[in-house]
Structure 1
Amino acid sequence: MSAVQNAEISLGRGEVVAITGQSGSGKSSLLYCLAGVLPVARGNVYFEGNSLGELNDEQLSTIRRERFGFIFQYGELLPELTLEENTALPLRLAGRRKASALHAAREILDRLGLADLRERRPSQVSGGQSQRVAVARALVHQPAVVFADEPTGSLDSRNATAVLDEFLNLARSQRTSVLLVTHDEQVAAQADHRYSMCDGVLVPGVS
């Protein structure tokens, strides 16, 4: 995997920024650096005026848990939990009472057309439905930023378009910023700003 070099990127409130590039270009590494998951050897990542590199592990964990959301290519839902419980997980981890967290989960699942499936487990629904739950989980706590790593990469074109539209419409309605990495130009075309990455080098693209 390519190391990230001299990358400079900014993300405004409610903006959607896409980073494109081939596998191994360094785009996922950059995403995880910006999310505070991977350390930055040189330079800084700032979130709401704070340098992530100056925060301790507990502070970083709190930001990732309460202010960030994450969507992965294969959803990464917990198989032993219902769709409703998976969705409510960020709220429960942040200390929200169970009844309140489940109520919020039901509301966002309803907005995504999944209300009737909330008691099912991930193995009992389709890939497109699982990825909608991943979207719900990422947005249920109304984070400041969602980091999405190939969020539609495991879906067929029809489901990919539907899930992406629902994800971005819901994020924009909440004024949640989105940073997504993708190799799909059609996905990147939905962003407000685009960058491309090759061999660890980030280049501004079409906006």
Structure 2
Amino acid sequence: MTKVLSAREVDLFYGRTPAVRNAQLSLHRGEVVAITGQSGSGKSSLLYCLAGVLPVARGEVCFEGRPLGALGDEELSALRRERFGFVFQYGELLPELTVEENTALPLRLAGQRKSEALSAAGEILGRLGLAELRERRPSQVSGGQSQRIAVARALVHKPAVVFADEPTGSLDSSNATAVLDEFLALARSQGTAVVLVTHDTQVADRADNRYTMCDGTLTAQVREGA
């Protein structure tokens, strides 16, 4: 498998307080990796290091073999905009845009024509069973629908990696299962790797590989029978 993302001996501090200690992780094309842990364990901090949002204090994060620390601000912004996708716990849709416009946003930010971007957004919304919501505003959809739209927005530009921070944390169990099913199936079908941060062990069990985070220390979990 092709390695798309790696972390080597990564440390992160908030002031003098360590948030991530000596983290090691590899992610391959189309692979889903879950990071579990209690609140405050450092798992979201590590996620943002991997996405190039937070600079590491020591070690390095590499995307397709290139250290993120070697990139300037504009290069990092372009990378996050064009090659990465993001899903957050509460969707974070823009209220002034329609569902279709929200979904098309990564393509528009990358310079794609509006008509082409909206066409691609309509296609992926259709794949997720959301075509009838295209003209609605975020305030006019349910929580489960909002999270599906956030998934569509994260995947519409076929990114290399999607970073998902508690993507089902705000949903009831039935909606959480449905959203996760659709998210992982779509990501895997287009070869997008996923870093999934969650406190829910049932969600983590859906990943190909799983890590736990405790007091900033990342530990790989070996599956039974592996």
- With the shorter chain as reference, the TM-score category is over 0.9
Q: CA RMSD in A?
A: 0.8
Letter matched to residue 17 of structure 1: V
Counterpart of 1:190? 206
Q: 1:17 aligns with which of 24, 33, 36?
A: 33
Please tell me whether residue 73 in structure 1 is matched to residue 89 in structure 2. yes
Q: Corresponding residue for 1:47?
A: 63
Within a 5 Å distance, the mapping from 1:87-166 to structure 2 comes to 87-166=103-182
List, as ranges, runs of 4+ consecutive aligned residues in structure 1 with deviation greater than 4 Å.
none
Partner of 2:44: 28
Structure 1 residue 7: Cα displacement: 0.3
**Unpaired runs of 5+ in structure 1?**
none
**What secondary structure, in the 3-state scheme, does the structure 1 residue paired with 2:27 have?**
coil
Alignment partners' CA distance in 2, 1:144 and 1:14: 8
Structure 2: which 5+ runs fail to align? 1-13
Identity score, percent:
80
Q: Which structure has more strand as a fraction of its residues? A: 2
Give the CA deviation at 1:49: 1.3
Per the alignment, residue 169 of structure 1 pairs with 185
Distance in 1 between the 2:59 and 2:73 partners? 18
Q: SS of 2:86's equivalent?
A: strand
Amino acid in the other structure paired with 2:77: S
Aligned partners of 1:12, 1:48: CA distance in 2, in Å? 10
Deviation of residue 206 (structure 1)?
3.5
Letter in structure 2 aligned against 1:29: S
In the TM superposition, what is the alpha-carbon distance from 1:88 to its structure 2 partner? 0.0
The two structures have a TM-score, normalised by structure 2, of 0.91
- CA distance in structure 2 between the aligned counterparts of 1:73 and 1:42, rounded to whole angstroms: 28
2:24 alignment partner, SS class: coil
1:64 paired residue number? 80
| TM-score, reference length from structure 1 | 0.99
Distance 1:49 1:11 in 2: 12
User: Are 2:214 and 1:204 aligned?
Assistant: no
Inter-partner Cα distance in structure 2 for 1:133 and 1:12: 25
Q: Secondary structure at the match of 1:3?
A: strand
